[in-house]
Each structure stands twice: as C-alpha cells, then as structure tokens.
Structure 1
C-alpha cells in the first residue's frame, strides 16, 4: 500500500494517496509490522510537507520516528530524526531544529551514510544562513559539497560495475555474435558514459553556482553587519560630539555671565567709587589728568569685557535666533574689508546648541578671511529651507592651495563642529581669486523649535 500511495502521489492525486497511507498504517499496525507503520507515517509527513502544512508534517514525522525506534532500524531512526529537524527549520524553530539536525548528523556518522550526512549538512547550511551566521553556513556548505561529490562518485562507480558485469555475462552467453554484441555494447557504454559525464558536469556546475551564490550572500550579510557596526560607531561619535558642544556652549554661557555680572560689576563699582571721590579731594593738574585717564581705562575695560562676554555667548543669538545674530555680527565689523550679509528662505528657530554651533562656524570663517585673505569684500549667506540649512562664506582675497590645509587646529575644530550635527563642509579656493566655504546640514527638521 505504501508503494501504491507513492504512485498516486506521483500522479498528483494527493487526497487519494493520503487515504491509502492511512489504510497502510491500520493494516501494518494490525500485522505488527513496525517498519511498514513507520514508512506510512513518513510518507504522510512528506505529503503534508509538500502541501506546506508543516505542523501536520511535524506530527507525522514524530510518529514515524517512534515506530522506527520500535523496529530498531538504525537508518530509519536517523532519517526520521533528520526529517524532523528539517521540518522544524521550515517552522522557523531554528534552535530546536539545529539541535535535532546535529543529533541526526552524529547518528549518520556512526552509520557511515554519506547520503544522510550530505542531506543534513545541506539543511544546516540553510539554517545557519537564516540565523545570520554566514561563516558557519559556509562551513556546512563546504561539507555538503564534499559529501555530495563522494555520493556522486560512488553512484558512478556502481553504474560502471553493473555495466562491466553485464558485459561479461553477455560475452559468455553469445560467443557466436561476439563481435556484433561487442560493438553494440561499446556504443551503449560510450553513450551512457557521455550521458553520465554530462549529468555529472551539470551537477558540478550547479553545485559551483550554488556555492558561489551562497558565498555571495554570506559576503553581503557580512558587509551589511560591518556597515551597521560602522554606522553605530559614527552615531556614537556624533552623540559624543554633540554632548561636547552642548557642554562647551553651557560653559561659555557661564563664563560670559560671570564676566559680565561679576567682573563687569566690580569695574563699574570701582568707577563709581572714583567718581564719588572727585568732589571730596583736591588734586593738582597732573593728578587730575592721571585720574581722568584711569576713569577712561576703566570705561575701556568695561567695554572690552562686554565685547568678550558678547562674543562668548551673544545675547541676541539666544533671543532673536541665527538670522538676526549673523546679521548683527556682520554689521558690527566696520573695519575693512566690507562684510556683507545675505539671507534666503524662511527664518526658523532651531535648538540653541545647533544655532550656537552654526554661529561659531560663520564667526570662525569670517575671522579667518579678515586675518589671512587680504580680501576687498567678504560675503556671508544663510539659506534656510524646509529640512536643510546652508552657510556660505566667500571672499575675493588671495586664496590658497587646499592641499595640506585640513590639519590645522582651527580647521580640525571647524570640521568637528560640522560633523557634530552630521554636516558637510566643502572648501574651494583659487590663488589670486579668493576662497569659498560652503557648510550644509541635511535632515534637521528634528532640531526645529516648536
């Protein structure tokens, strides 16, 4: 009945085949034939597996395994254990599937069955690929290729032995027609060998292609993992840089407040004290001049102190935002060369740390142009778009060669500020024509103030 059920299955009559297999189980159990019961359950599992009903397939292969144990058939015990692991793999129960397949592999090694070992290594290779272990998958794939070649070689040798035996038998039985029979046999052998060689060649080509494909997939998965690791490391560096910039911003704000409120207040107090003394003491002309100079120096010191505090943490940046702060900064630079400010887009407020970083970038670029470029004009542009911000600083100065200009402390500090918010900096300069630096920040919608 098992053979008839398999015949019906080959004709595509699945329902009829299932009915026959169930009848075979009933009859085999009644006769006490454990081997036939195991085979019938095995065939049912195979049928439901082809139908992708893996839960039922798992149920029947477990029954087949239990009856194989009763029949004490070592090959069937190993084979049903292997099929159990394979169905668990289809159910994506990878850990249990792996343990089951490894157990089956040990039994196959004891049996010395190269076919079972080949099949189990093939299943393990696919399983480890699904689990994201490309190196382990590749190791199992190589074992599969080795055993597959051994199985194919053994199969070819059996075929050759069969043909030799048949040739010898026919030669003894037909001496009279020996020459004709020999010619026919040789032609047959040549044709059969050619077909066998062609089949072997096709199999080897398919194995090589499959191996290459699996290696490619493993390399791709490894590359993806490395990219993820690299992205995580970059993300960690960016977070660290942003924390550093926020800390720097906070410290600058604290120092600016201390200078303005503390030391500024003290100098103002000194001036007030000196002013109150003018009506109480009589000074000669020389002392009066010295006294007035001292008052002027105090006034200059207070103003310089306020400028330093403003540069460290511009109050207008905190109140009015980047656009107004940059415009005010450029207007405050009255000494040649002329600094022109241009704005494009819609004024938008951002996170204070980001605005402070953008302000410092422009401040550094403008100061560099004023100190080193010998320019007639410096132009600063701020462009604000929906999810993008660009800063452009250009001059018509002496220019420089960009080679070797990226290792200075100032440039490294500038690049660090840009990288802290995933920005891109582009520097172009021509000797005698000037320099243009463009800094852009993409995808910064999350930094907007609501």
Structure 2
C-alpha cells in the first residue's frame, strides 16, 4: 500500500508554525502577534469559534494601521487547515492586494508575498491541480531567493517533493527532499521532523526497506523531541509496514502506536491505513477473524473519505479473508464489489498516459513562450520602423496636408468610439460566458457528484441484508434530498425565486439578509418607494444584478464594514437606487470608464436610465442608478 504524504508545509501544526517566526512577523506589533498565537493554539486544540480571535487580530491591525496582510495570510492558513477553501481565497485576495499596494518592497514584504504563493499552491494541491500548485511554488521559491532565505527555500523543495510523490514519481520526490534535508539538518525544528517522515515513506514506496527503517526511527525520535505527532505516526506506520513484510512480531508494537497516535491526532486517513496494516499483520499470524474486523473498519473509513483507490484493494482482501473463513456467500459479495469498483477507476496505464500528456503540455508551453519572446522582438523592431516612418509622414503633413490631418483625427475618434462600444459588447459576452462556466461547474461538481453517489448507493442495495438495505435506502434518500436542494440552489442563482414571485424589493431584501448572515459585511436595506412593481420583469432582473455587482465591488475593493442599499423616486417618478459604503473610497484616477462600472452605465442607458458615481476618500462611495 503506497503512502500518501500529509506533510505539505501549510498543513502542519499551526501553533508550531507561529513559534518559528516568519520574516514578515517583524511587521506585526506584539499585541497582535500574541492574539494570533492564541488563535493558532485554539485551532491546534480544535476549540470552537477560533475565527473570532483571528478577526479580533485583524480589527487590531486595521485600528493601528498595521500589517493587515500579515494577519489575513494567517487567517487564510487557518481556513485551509479547516478545509474552508472559499474563505481562504477571500483572505488570500486581501493579502495579495495589500502586498501589491506597497511600492518599495522590503525583504519582510517579499517574505509575506512568498507565503501568499505557498498558500495558493496549497489550495491547488488540495483540489488536485498539480500544475498550478507547482507554478505557484516556483514563484514562491524565486521570491525567497531574492532575500536569501535558504531555509524557506528548503521548505519549498519539500512541497515540490510532495507534489511529485502524489504523482507517483518517488525518485524525483526523494531527491528534492534530500536537498531540503542538507539545509534543514542545521536548524532541526518541527518541520525537519516532518521531512524525516516524508523521506521514510519515500524509501518505503521505493522498496528500500533498510533506509525506510532508519528514517522511520528518526521521524519518531524527532517527533518526540519537537512534540510533533504526525512524524511519529508516519515513523511507526513505516516501521510496522516493513516489519510486517519481514514477518517480524515487533510489527504489532509499532502499528498499535500508529493507531493510537492517529486517533489522538484525529487523522482518519492515517487511521484507516494503520488499521489495514494491523489486519495484514493479524492475517500473517492466522488470526483471520480479528483481521476481518480491522479490515472492515478501515474500509468504512476509506468509503467515508471517498478514497476509492484504497477501498478497492480492501474489498479484495476482505473477500479473500472471508473465503479463508469459509463464509463463501459474503466473500462473493465483496469480490463482486471489488470487480465493480475496480472497473470504474482509472488503470495504472491511464495514469501513465496522463502524466506523459502533462509532460508534453509543459514542453509545448515552454516552446510557445520562446516563440512569443521572438515575436515580441520582431514587434519591437517593427515598432521602431513605424516610429521613423510616422516621423516622415508627420513632416509631410505639417508642410501641406492640414486637411488630411483633420480627416485623420475624425476617423481616429470614430475608431476609438467603435473600440469603446466593442469593449462594452465584449464585457456583455464575457459576462454571459462566465455565467455559463459557473453553471457548468455547479452541475459537474455538485449535482453530478450527488447523482453518482446515489447511483452507487442504489447499486449496493441488492448485495446487502435486510437491515443494511433499509439503512442504505435511508442513505440514498438523504443523497437525493441533497440533490434536490442543489437543484433548487442552481435555479435560484439563475433566476432568484423571490424576484420572480415578489419582485425587486423583496428580492433585494432577501439578498441583504443572506449576505448579512455570512458576516462579511453589514448591509442595510432602506425602501422608500413602491414603484418597482411597475417595472418589467427583465428590467427588475437587470437592476437586481447591478445591485449585486455594486455590493460585490464594495466587498472586494472598498475595505468597508457597512453598506446601505436605498430605494426611492424623484419628482418625475423615476426609480432611484442608491448604494453607499463607509470604505476607503476611490482615488482620483478611478472613474466610470473602468470596464465594470462602464458596463453598468451602458446597460442603464440602454433602457433610458443613468448612472452616477461619487467618490470621497473620507466617507467612501455613493453609486446612484436612476431609471
């Protein structure tokens, strides 16, 4: 059984991370840093409401005009550890915006930016997008090299090694880890203990068992020294697996340690792997009935985690164990499930083909970059020639073609206007395309997965006893109920039910309520008119989308804590929608010509309306739509 590395740097113990200060911690005042440490300890102990402490640290940073990006990057790390990737993305965007807003980047700021790319890579890694994860790690390594932090460069190499290991390229993964080990052995912190666990698993995967034993024992020793539980789990697991292959009774001691530590750390994936190995050890000692219990417990965990590549092997093992116990009927059921699940998974040959295609893609990508550089050089040469030619034309025009200049200017103005109209058209097309992509992703990631789970659940019913059948039917009902809710949510996103039934005012009130429930911003709704029911349904939908876009802009860009949506009407009975906030406002360079705001203006003009944007740095933004 191949081991899966769990030691991606960002997923290591949060409290251990904070006790080994990053370079950008120099930017954080002591009171805020202490608050972050308390929040990290809360997360380490898996207490409730840890996010409140993180938000308290962020509010302190805002009040002191401090390094808010340093706090938001730690908040993103917390949410990644909790599996809340959307929340993590929100705070990573704030971190990147903070860094991009600093013109003179000190080594501390570069360190913060490097950590941002590490966390972005972790998100892609969790989602299975290895190419994007690798790209962000390489950017991270480049930034760390700029300020000479070889220790953090070693951490990046550990992450790169983990990606290669997840792809099954164990030799390359081992080389990267050994390069990191040459640097980290002089520091010897909790991450060095994690590295020892990584190296032990790689030697085991490469069937170099003697080296696996050496590094497994080293991982246990370093885990004890730095009070890090994950290296101890992996060390005990690897040693038990090697000794199990050698039929050594000492395997019982190590695998029981691995199981106990996995339960303590609430590491369900490692618990399942350890239970499976324990079953194999018991089976080697002809204790098949005991082994069967551990195999079935491991299988249950893998199915709950949807780790079907691991589960398929256990179906076969359990079938063979039942056969040895002369329980042929139940053995047949497990073998049938094994065959069905195996046929539904990618074969090893397909995985190899996928990796080869990925390699070809990366090669072609590099060739395209080279071709683009050559094309840019040719464009630069052509640009120089065009400047010289334009100079000659300009002299000729000055000498006697004044009329031609005027015609040329008119044509140019006409062309610019056409380009501006094309930009608006493209913004509409791009908006529709993004909506199609979003709907496609929701159908694929949500609805398709639920239907697939319902199908598999139904297919399993004929093979179960009567009690298990009833439980399986209830499970299938739950899946179908979730499918129904997913369909309702998608339909609501396409055309809000409240808007279709009760109109724009009720839909806006519902939108405000839903957004307030997220806690991202405090949004108020003030209705001073009853005119909206007279508007056509298409116009009401367009106004609803404009309100959503303006509020989303406030959340992304204004740093506001409060916003208000007001409905009123002017003396001519025209509907007025006003959206205001208490954020930082816009600078003097921001205007309606920006594509998003310009799109709103053009949509309103198309129905005879108007759009005004007022900016004030001290009081935030005021957007007024009239129709």
Which of 1 and 2 has higher RCO (CA within 8 Å, sep 6+)? Answer: 1
- TM-score interval w.r.t. the shorter chain? 0.3 to 0.5
Give the TM-score taking structure 2 as reference length.
Answer: 0.26
